[in-house]
Structures are given as structure tokens and as C-alpha cells.
Amino acid sequence: MTKNAPPPPLTRRIDLNVGYSCNIKCSFCYYLTDVKARDRDKDLTTEQCRTLIRRHYAEGLRVLEFTGGEPTIRRDLFDLVRFAKETGFPRVSVITNGLRLSDKEYARGLAAAGVEDFLFSVHGSTAALHDSVTNVPGSFDRLMKAVRNAQSLGAKVRCNSVVTGVNLSDVYGRARLFRDLGIKTVNFILFNPIQQQTEGADESNFLRYSDAAAELKRAMTDFGPDFDKFTVRYLPFCLMPGLERHVQNVPQVHYDHDEWDYYHRSRVREPLWKWLGGLLAGAAVLPGKRFWLSCGWDHFWHAAILQAHSLLHKRMFPKCRRCSFARICGGVWNEYALRFGDSELISVPGPVLAEPWHFMDESQRAETRR
């Protein structure tokens, strides 16, 4: 950040996790234990969802994203979307596996209720691979119908794709598929070995960062110019020289307007004592406090809550602490560090960068419109 230049605006998007019930069972799922239990008593009630919608709007958030689990299996989703629009949210989004949206009338109904942004989860470029990950035969073909249905309605269509050891060699194929579908915003997310995902997780999901980087570089080189936004989540910057603008780790999420505000998200999802304790702990150890205070208190507290998240879930090796990217990268997941160590990582020389958005150009920060 140049002297006296203001920081870029924080995202005003928030997710509303309606519960963990789902109609597929992805092998890498964050919440697979809860999904398999299919205990709908743990899902939010309609009134609980309405309360959160009102609260998020009152806190200044302006893009609401329904997620789960799978939000489209709820009978009240249309009503909740309409309620969000009536509350004042200018934009409403749904994250989905696409099964229900393969029915064009259902897709048309969601759009009529007020959804104008669909984020589809695509985990293979072929039916054989995607269906093996979701454990639902025919899910790929229905997903492709859902994407086309959403596009025909003029909605914004984005795609998330988790990269695991199972589908790593298909990264290039998925990038090509997204290009051929005319999708302009894609996000590849590396399998994140945190507690929820490692308890009973299939070993085939784990992968090395260096192997993922090689496949992602190849896809970016050939297909990157075809997208408005090609993002990779949770990959150390040091492994993507020259392509750092595509990489987002924990410190970057608050400056990508297609991503969620974790400051407000954690206030809803955690007990007050835990949220406040994490916030204060993150503020106490936040590097570059003077820099953050110069950005304003809002940015300071958003950075502090992300620092608390890193304290709990990530580790920085000595070579990471000496790296130019130390403050904007955030280290590696604890479980990954235990499994693979630091042999792949490189300590990049140079002055320590302070701004998480240092490599993020406007296309990576903005909320995409298509």
C-alpha cells in the first residue's frame, strides 16, 4: 500500500449455512460425518434462518450466499430467498451440487424468487470421476444440465472444484471443461487437512502442494486467459512464482468480494466467549499492528480474526518466518505439516510484504458479475 493510499474495501458477502443435510456424500467433505448421520434436527429452522438474514443485513452485509450441506433440498428455500430480498439484500447466491437444478422448472423458480448467482461444485471433468467423488451415479450429467439451466436464465455462474489426490491429474481437464462451458469464474480449492476432514478421511484425498502446483500451473498457462477470475485456494505463494495473483490463502479472503466475511461469520458460528477470545488472541499476536491500525479499525479486527484462525489451524516453519511472504501467506495446515514437513517450501528473499492484497489485482478482488 503506497503512503496514504486507502486499503481496498472488505467483502460484504456472507454465507448462511442452513445445515449439513445433503443429497450426495463427497469423499473429501468437511462435514462427512454429519452428512452421513442425516440428522435434520441439527439443521436450522426457518425462523432461525430468518433471524440470521435480518442480523447479517443489519451488520452491513449485502450479498447473502445460501450453503450447507445442500440448501436446495430444503422445502423453504424459495421462501427464504424471497425473505432475503425483502429484507434488502441486493444479491442472493446459492452454493449447490446441482442435482435439484437439473430440473429447469426448479431452477426457474429459484431465479424468480431472487437468486441471480449460482456457485456449482464440480469435482471431475468426466462422469466417471465426478460420480466416484460424490458417490451418486448420474450426478455429473445432472450437474451439467444444472449449469446450462442457470446460464439460460441469465444467472451468474461460478464453479468451485476441490483438488484431492483422487482427482489431481484431472485439474487440466476441469479447467478445459469450465472454459468450454463458458464459465468465467473458477476456484480450485486444495483439500484442507483440518480436523473435520481428517477424522476417518480416505488417505487417497491427501496430496502434496508441489504436485498440485505443477498441475495448476499447466492449467493456468493454457487456460488462464479464458477466465475473468482463476483462483487457487490454500497453496503457499512460494510454489507459484509468477502466478501469485491467482493464489489466495487465509489472509486474502476478506478482500475477494466473491468470498465471505469471516469476522461476521465467526460471530454467528461460535459462542461469544470463544469468538471474543479468538479475536483478542489474534489481535495480540497479529504481525504488523501499526500497518493494520493505519488501515482502520475495521481492517484491523478482520485481520485479527483471520490471525486467530491461523493460530488454531496453521503452522509456520522457520523458513516460512524468514520469507518475504510470511505475513500474507499464513503457513500450512497443521496436519499437512505433520505429514509432509517443509521440504517443498522455499523461503523467498526480499522485504516482508504487509498487504494481503499485494498480488490481488482488481479481477481477483472484485465480485464477478458473470
Using one digit for the tens of pLDDT, what is the confidence trace for 132-183?
A: 999 999 999 999 999 999 999 999 999 999 999 999 999 999 999 999 999 9
pLDDT tens digit string along 252-282?
999 999 999 999 999 999 999 999 999 999 9
User: What is the pLDDT of the chain when averaged over all its residues?
Assistant: 93
Task: Provide the strand spans (E) within the chain.
Answer: 13-17, 63-67, 91-96, 115-121, 156-163, 185-190, 229-233, 247-248, 314-315, 332-333
Distance between CA atoms of residues 197 and 29, nearest Å: 7
Distance between CA atoms of residues 19 and 318, nearest Å: 39
Find the mean pLDDT for residues 43-65: 97
- At residue 42 the predicted structure's pLDDT band, cuts being 50, 70 and 90, is confident
Q: Is the pLDDT of residue 248 over 80?
A: yes
Q: Which residues pair with 159 in a beta bridge?
A: 120, 186
Q: Is the pLDDT of residue 319 over 70?
A: yes
pLDDT at residue 2, as a whole number: 52
Q: What is the pTM of this model?
A: 0.94
Sequence spans of domains, the chain: 13-262, 264-362
86 — phi, psi (to 5°)? -65, -30
- At residue 34 the predicted structure's pLDDT band, cuts being 50, 70 and 90, is low
Sheet holding 115-121, edge to edge: 13-17, 63-67, 91-96, 115-121, 156-163, 185-190, 229-233, 247-248
pLDDT at residue 199, as a whole number: 54
Q: Is the pLDDT of residue 197 over 60?
A: no
- At residue 330 the predicted structure's pLDDT band, cuts being 50, 70 and 90, is confident
pLDDT at residue 367, as a whole number: 82
The bridge status of strand 229-233 relative to strand 185-190 is parallel
Distance between CA atoms of residues 253 and 365, nearest Å: 9
> How many CB atoms are located within 10 Å of the residue 342 CB?
17
Please identify, in words, the CATH class of the domain defined by 13-262.
alpha beta
Going by the DSSP 8-state scheme, the letter that residue 5 receives in this structure is P
pLDDT at residue 38, as a whole number: 55
Find the mean pLDDT for residues 94-120: 98
Find the mean pLDDT for residues 25-52: 78
